[in-house]
Structure 1
Amino acid sequence: MRDTFKHQGLRQQLVNVLIGKGITDKTVLNAIGKIPRHLFMDSGFLDHAYQDKAFPIAADQTISQPYTVAFQTELMQIEKGDKVLEIGTGSGYQTAVLCDLGAKVYTIERQQELFKKTSKFLPKLGYRAKKFVFGDGYKGLQEQAPFKSIIVTAGAPFVPKPLLAQLEIGGRLVIPVGDNVQTMTLFVRKGVMEFDKTEFGEFRFVPLLEDKN
């Protein structure tokens, strides 16, 4: 599969859609405009790769809507070299965006099928996470903590305490919280026990799964 001028043109149209929806971070928009999203999807959905929609991938999961990816990434305020934890590698599209921004990405996936596929696939495209982990995202990655930011790419019924604990002071956790519909929530760590919490509208995610390993 190739990345053609047509794909590049469709990506630019997608970037314009995201700008129209309020995404302003130039580095995030550049990443969306650069990364070949069609390569992360099953061939049956190729015609839809640059629509602003979520689509099914393996293991009953989805590749997130580009607006959602951009919105969450923008909230993280990533700077080059930031140490970032991603909960839910999925297709690897969000991972690629984080890598493109220059983050040092540690990413956890708990679906064996997706873990195997994505951990092989991403490096082939030139996106190299620091570490791919097969495990339970609710527990985070204590041995690599603290993190400058943590992103959760599935709907969490509650905020896992280990994720808050693994943020550095000043660090940011971006997590969709709720059951059927989630509220995008940002936690900024102000002190050892002190967090600022801000909520941003409703989103829909597949559920964050627990303890299946």
Structure 2
Amino acid sequence: MKPRPGFPARLPSSAPAPTARGKAAVVAAHPTARESKAPVLKPKAVHVPDRRVAPTGLGMESQAVRASMVRKIQAQGVTHAGVLAALQAVERHRFVDTALVNQAYEDTSLPIGLGQTISKPGVVARMLELLCQGRAEKLGRVLEIGTGCGYQAALMSHLAREVYTIERLKGLHEKARDNLRWFRLPNVHLLFGDGMLGYAKGAPYAGIIAAAGGNDIPAAWIDQLAVGGRLVAPAVTAAGRQNLVVVDKTATGIVRTELEPVLFVPLKSGVA
């Protein structure tokens, strides 16, 4: 596999990726000695727990809340251990608006702005299981079409060594950047650009997954898929319905499998 491209990346007809904000320096103030020549007491070090460690309380941050969601998804037939572990690890409520946070762990899609939605956890789990099917180890380099609010990218960070995710709507690209900053995921790279073109600089990909459905699978995606790789995306089939489609790229050609009906937002070209 060729080396990953440098970042920030510049895509055709896209704006330059923003630079990360610098960390603010923390300056400790030391007390001065009193005129009575009392000894100066040095402040004791205070242990601050790593905020990335999941709390175990009873609110939205509770592991028990996510465990309940994972059990429901298991009951739907998802069995891949890595996918289930990722669902348990990633806090979905951090990707939804405050007004909808109480619905974050229900198996429902929710609006995230600009006419887009965060997909049902069950649908996300189904697609990720298809992407990882037959693989116990992590995938190599993967590409996500449609970053949205960043939830699926966060899940994929547990399932792949490198995640490239591209979003055509600048507002959502920025929202995903803000959401993902809290998780500090060094293997996730956000791109602003036309997802229908894929991202050729990062190809070939072990897996490609799309969160929007078009009339067919764009040829650029198949071209950027590695031999032995798999693509999972919604697409309109010959019957005129939108179905989940799996494309496997083998040494002898392309194998396309059409699965159950789904309902995703339409795949569009260009940026906005």
Structure 2 length-normalised TM: 0.73
How much does 1:131 deviate?
2.2
1:43-192 matches, cutoff 5 A: 43-77=98-132, 79-80=137-138, 82-178=140-236, 182-191=242-251
Structure 1: gaps spanning 5 or more residues: none
**Do the aligned residues in 2 keep the contact of 1:175 with 1:184 (CA within 8 Å)?**
yes
Task: Output one character per residue of 1:121-169: Cα deviation in whole Å (capped at 9) or x when no partner.
Answer: 3132223344211111110011111000000011222110000010110
CA contact (8 A) 2:170 2:271 kept: no
Q: Which residue of 2 aligns with 1:198?
A: 257
Instruction: Report the CA distance between 1:29 and its aligned residue.
Output: 0.6
Higher helix share: 1
The residue aligned with 1:21 is: 76
Which residue identity lines up with residue 256 of structure 2 in the other structure? K
The answer (yes or no) to whether the contact 1:181–1:204 under 8 Å persists in 2 is no
Mean CA deviation greater in 143-152 or 75-84:
75-84
Letter in 2 for 1:55: L
Q: Which has the larger radius of gyration?
A: 2
In the aligned structure 2, how far is the partner of 1:126 from the partner of 1:181? 39
Please tell me whether the aligned partners of residues 122 and 128 of structure 1 are also in contact (alpha carbons under 8 angstroms). no
Q: What residue number does 1:207 align with?
A: 266
Specify whether residues 91 and 4 from structure 1 end up closer, same or farther in structure 2 by C-alpha distance, changes over 3 A only.
farther
TM-score (norm 1): 0.92
SS for the counterpart of 1:84 is: strand
Gaps of 5+ in 2: 1-53
Question: Aligned partners of 2:95, 2:148: CA distance in 1, in Å?
Answer: 10
8 Å contact from structure 2 (residues 153, 188) kept in 1: no
SS in structure 1 of the partner of residue 157 of structure 2: helix
AA partner of residue 196 (structure 1) = V
Instruction: Give the alignment's Cα RMSD to 1 decimal.
Output: 2.0
Secondary structure (helix, strand or coil) at the match of 1:15 reads helix
1:70 and 1:127 map into 2 onto residues whose CA distance is 20
Once residues 171 and 9 of structure 1 are traced to their aligned partners in structure 2, the CA distance between those partners, rounded to angstroms, is: 35
- Structure-2 separation of matches of 1:196 and 1:154: 21
Task: Assess, with a 3 A threshold, how the Cα gap between structure 1 residues 140 and 209 changes in structure 2: closer, same or farther.
Answer: same
Could you give the per-residue CA deviations for residues 69-128 of structure 1, whole angstroms, max 9, x where no partner exists?
A: 101101111642510000000010000000022430011000000111212331322233
Match of 1:38 among 93, 97, 102: 93
SS for the counterpart of 1:82 is strand
| Aligned positions, number | 212
Q: CA deviation at 1:5?
A: 2.6
State the alpha-carbon separation in 2 of the partners of residues 17 and 72 from structure 1. Answer: 16
7-16 or 159-168: bigger deviation: 7-16
Pick closer, same or farther for the CA change 1:182–1:129 going to 2, 3 Å.
farther
Distance in 2 (CA, whole Å) between partners of 1:187 and 1:53 is 26
* Distance change >3 Å, CA 3–CA 56, structure 1 → 2: farther
Which whole-Å CA distance do the structure 2 matches of 1:67 and 1:122 have between them?
Answer: 21
What's the % identity of the aligned pairs?
36
Letter in 2 for 1:123: R
